[in-house]
Structure 1
Amino acid sequence: TQCWGYDQSRFPANNMFVSAGEMVWDNGAACGRRYRVRCIGGSGRPCVGGFVDVTVVDACNTFPCPSTFLFSADAFQQISRNPHAAVSVEFW
């Protein structure tokens, strides 16, 4: 990753991680930051309610990044019924 190279030990054991888009990335200062994220909408009502706590482990690898966060599959499953949905989120 852009945060820690190939050091797998830096990934959260629970697989709750994200890659950060430009808005959050902040030239790498976001590495290791934790965010609480919840789904607030999307086509087909994908939100499951509740929130997920995630850790930034990388920058989005496309430019421009299509979203604020790119979630691990395990993290996204905590907030969306549909693994392919485009969702709106709020985070803090």
Structure 2
Amino acid sequence: MNAATKCGGNRPDQFPAGNLFVSVSEGLWDNGAACGRRYRLRCLSGNNKPCKDIDTTIDVRVVDFCSQRPCPSTIVMSMDAFAAISRRPDAKINIEYAQI
């Protein structure tokens, strides 16, 4: 069961193909203007070399505001997005991101 998002509520069409979506913290949220924004992400580093490939990038869509207080990071990736760039689901990684 999916919880409603701040951007699209319960609409299934807000989620991009492959479930490559993210929630963002206050710094990127922009009073909700971040909804639907797309970012290109790349894994840079982490303990025990968690990045699949330093040259691999993924494109993600913002669908929600980070609900945790404080938010653990600037961008919180879906499990599928995280798995696309990290070898380990429990890793803490440093990413590079740019709005596209």
Output the TM-score relative to the length of structure 1: 0.94
2:95 is the counterpart of 1:89: yes
2:6 is the counterpart of 1:2: yes
Tell me which residue corresponds to 2:17: 13
Distance 1:66 1:35 in 2: 18
User: Structure 1: which 4+ aligned runs deviate by more than 4 Å?
Assistant: none
User: For structure 2, which runs of at least 5 residues remain unmatched after alignment?
Assistant: none
* Superposition deviation, residue 24 in structure 1: 1.3
1:10 corresponds to which letter in structure 2?
Q
Tell me which residue corresponds to 1:51: 57
Alignment deviations for residues 2-21 of structure 1 (CA, whole Å, 9 cap, x no partner): 00111112111321100111
Q: Which of these residues, 73, 80, 87, is aligned with residue 79 of structure 2?
A: 73
Distance 1:25 1:88 in 2: 19
Output the TM-score relative to the length of structure 2: 0.87
Larger deviation, residues 33-42 vs 13-22: 13-22
Distance 2:92 2:9 in 1: 28
- Three-state SS of the structure 1 residue aligned to 2:62 is strand
Distance 2:12 2:27 in 1: 25
RMSD between aligned residues: 0.9
Identity %: 53
User: For structure 1, which runs of at least 5 residues remain unmatched after alignment?
Assistant: none
* Superposition deviation, residue 88 in structure 1: 0.5
